[in-house]
Amino acid sequence: MEDQNLSGEMVPVILKDGNVCEVSSGTTWGEVAAGLSRKLGKETVVARVNGDLQDLLLPVSPGEKVEFLTFVDDEGQAVYRHTTSHVLAQAVKRLYPEARLAIGPAIADGFYYDFDCEHPFTTEDLALIEEEIKKIIKADYPIIRQELSHDDAIAFFQEKEEHYKVELIKDLPADVQVSIYKQGEFVDLCLGPHLPGTGKLGVVKLLSVAGAYWKGSEKNKMLQRIYGTSFPKKKNLDEYLQRLEEAKRRDHRKLGQELDLFGIAEEGPGFPFFYPKGMIIRSELEGFWRSEHRKRGYQEIKSPVVLNRGLWERSGHWDHYKENMYFLKIDDEDYAVKPMNCPGAMIYYKTRIHSYREFPLRIGELGLVHRHERSGVLHGLMRVRCFTQDDAHIFMLPEQITDEITGVMELIDHFYRTFGFSYRVELSTKPENAMGSDEIWDLATKALVSALEKKGVPYQLNEGDGAFYGPKIDFHLQDSLGRSWQCGTIQLDFVNPENFDLTYISDDGSKKRPVMIHRVVFGSIERFLGILTEHYGGAFPIWLAPVQVKVLTVASRHVEYAALIAHQLEQEGIRVEVDERNERVGYKIREGEIEKAPYILVLGDQEVDSEMVRVRKRGEGDLGSFELNDFVARVKDEIAKKQ
């Protein structure tokens, strides 16, 4: 590459592919990227240097290994959008100088910034702020990092009357250097990194305003949170906004009400109600779950919802999960409503002595659990306070671990492909609050890696995000809108068999500890149903549809024939609903389509005389006349194939 600074001595830097290039001392990472190619220099947003992200304005050091990230990379997007949040804050401060700054991180698909401002932001205000953002981008202010001592940083933000920033700094150790970023007249407390200048931003769209408590605590002041997103090109923004509109149309809360499936009452925030049609879908999901698990040798149990405190202390939940649990007193003793099903499975295991010949022992449970969630994060069926977890706990010998994990992965793959989901896999390792020794964790993690490699499953490493009792494999499914949802998980546990003193009689007659797997497929029946509602846009495949066939009469004289057809369909196990209202048939067809019935049968004089049915299929329209037996065979075949 060409030198960017001919006056300095030459120093080597190592590129991602291992090649070494010589650059002048003092050359910045941005200049290195531009020297490699004009396109890379234009598109690079941040440098990963020896594994850490760095600003492009920082100078190189000899022997450092660098990778240049663009907006295509997840970390590149995060830096890009975090910079956008700073530009948003700068625009707000220009228009509303009295506003006080809180925090402004990048989030999935966008960013937000929290403000303490007496002026309530409106949709019209967002348009004004967007115009100011455009001016800041056009000005192309360099974004400069500086470091201050702890005391100087406090004094700096106190002078600016930014008390939220002062509070954040006071939470930091007194001996650390505090970094700030400047762009034009604007200064913000930030760890970074950022884009080298505001002109690197493309298009910005502010989306909404919401309330948010400072530091997420209801005890603190309510702030105003402005959400937005940004992209390098307008085309990307337009595509994203189209996806947002489609997501609104598919919102499971909206469809749940329109299709009469489920809802949340004011009397029970976070505690969903399932209506008759919603219960049909739920029952089908549970029936599918039970059928597939029986085929694979699982036995089902049901454990109590309320259990004594001593159990939760033994399981570790009392120390590691108490803030998410509900408690009550029974006969002057402490009890807890279960947040997880695991301890119940272990109590069942201890009801008798087990032999090594029984293993693997696969115990499943569709268990109702309760977890305390703050009101601000509740969201339809996606974030609730009670839900049914499709748990299973597998007890096995150490030499059976790889095969059992492989079997669970195959089961999860079968489930997700049945619903039309693709997915990606993450491996999460030991967290800070983990129970058990490093040796046990190392053994468990290697076992999960072995199973993944045996199946040839690509995975992303997620350091430090395992359960407190063991590492885990998480499955993130992708829906029809391209969104990712974490549902299935496999957790390997050597700790709780020790805590609960679980044993089996080995082949030499001695007592030994089993190894345990915790795993879910749906994750939560409620959440999975919400995901499915949005994935299908309410147009459920025929095997799940609450009403599989809607029968419409053209006139009142056709009601008797409609009742006969409906009865015959019901006898075949097909869910049917008759619309015999005295309305125009075109109106009734449109209503049936809005209700997303897979099939609509239209019955008039011609159908009565010929003893046929006129068939309309969702998405295809009029298919013509059918013999009833032929139509029934078609529907039953589609149900069996889960089409």
pLDDT digits (tens, 9 = 90+) for 277-290: 999 999 999 999 99
d(CA 589, CA 571): 24
Run of H or E residues at 23: strand 20-24
In a domain, 510, yes or no: yes
Q: What is the pLDDT of residues 128-162, one digit of tens each?
A: 999 999 999 999 999 999 999 999 999 999 999 99
Residue tagged active-site, from 338, 370, 518, 535:
518
Q: What is the pLDDT of residues 180-207, one digit of tens each?
A: 999 999 999 999 999 999 999 999 999 9
Residue tagged active-site, from 200, 250, 371, 519:
371
Query: What is the phi-psi region of residue 413: left when phi exceeds 0, alpha when psi lies from -120 to 50, beta otherwise?
Result: alpha
Residue tagged active-site, from 77, 183, 224, 389:
389
Q: What is the pLDDT of residues 558-588, one digit of tens each?
A: 999 999 999 999 999 999 999 999 999 999 9
Mean of the per-residue pLDDT values of the chain: 93
The helix-helix angle for 559-571 and 628-640 (nearest 10°) equals 40
In a domain, 541, yes or no: no
Indicate if the pLDDT at residue 4 is higher than 70.
no
* 160 counts as catalytic: no
* 518 counts as catalytic: yes
CA 284 to each of CA 279, 519, 569: distance values in angstroms, whole numbers, following the listed order: 8, 21, 18
Run of H or E residues at 425: strand 422-428
User: Per-residue confidence at 8, pLDDT binned at 50, 70, 90?
Assistant: low
Closest CA to 601 of 548, 545, 544: 548
Same domain? 177 vs 307? no
In a domain, 52, yes or no: yes
* 393 counts as catalytic: yes
* Single-letter residue type at 419: F
Residue tagged active-site, from 342, 430, 474, 614:
342
In a domain, 1, yes or no: no
In a domain, 115, yes or no: yes
* 389 counts as catalytic: yes
The CATH number that applies at residue 233 is 3.30.980.10
Same domain? 336 vs 410? yes
Helices (H), 438-490: 438-455
* 342 counts as catalytic: yes
Q: What is the pLDDT of residues 320-348, one digit of tens each?
A: 888 899 999 999 999 999 999 989 999 99
Same domain? 395 vs 498? yes
Same domain? 142 vs 57? no
Same domain? 56 vs 78? no
N-terminal to C-terminal alpha carbon distance within the chain: 56
Indicate if the pLDDT at residue 387 is higher than 70.
yes
Residue tagged active-site, from 165, 252, 472, 550:
472
Same domain? 50 vs 99? no
Query: What is the phi-psi region of residue 73: left when phi exceeds 0, alpha when psi lies from -120 to 50, beta otherwise?
Result: beta
Same domain? 343 vs 434? yes
Indicate if the pLDDT at residue 528 is higher than 90.
yes
In a domain, 255, yes or no: no
Report yes or no: 196 and 41 within 8 Å, Cβ to Cβ. Answer: no
Task: From 493, 511, 536, give the residue that closes a domain.
Answer: 536
Same domain? 95 vs 125? yes
Q: Return the SS3 of 340.
A: coil
- Lookup result for tokens 């700030």: 180
Task: From 508, 536, 564, give the residue that closes a domain.
Answer: 536
Report yes or no: 167 and 221 within 8 Å, Cβ to Cβ. Answer: no
Residue tagged active-site, from 125, 188, 391, 579:
391
* Residue 245, C-beta contacts closer than 8 angstroms, at least 6 positions apart: none
Same domain? 224 vs 311? no
Residue 17 DSSP one-character state: T
Q: What is the pLDDT of residues 250-300, one digit of tens each?
A: 999 999 999 999 999 989 999 999 999 999 999 999 999 999 999 999 999
Residue tagged active-site, from 277, 362, 393, 519:
393
d(CA 72, CA 85): 19
d(CA 453, CA 447): 10
**CA atoms 255, 261, 264, 267: torsion sign:** positive
Same domain? 301 vs 240? no
Q: What is the pLDDT of residue 6?
A: 45
Residue of 498 and 606 predicted with greater confidence: 606
Report yes or no: 31 and 55 within 8 Å, Cβ to Cβ. Answer: no
Report yes or no: 601 and 579 within 8 Å, Cβ to Cβ. Answer: no
In a domain, 597, yes or no: yes
Residue of 7 and 585 predicted with greater confidence: 585
* 391 counts as catalytic: yes
Same domain? 83 vs 185? yes
Indicate if the pLDDT at residue 641 is higher than 60.
yes
Indicate if the pLDDT at residue 359 is higher than 90.
yes
Per the structure, the complete domain to which residue 21 belongs is given by 10-66
Domain count, the chain: 4
Task: From 536, 567, 588, give the residue that closes a domain.
Answer: 536
* 472 counts as catalytic: yes
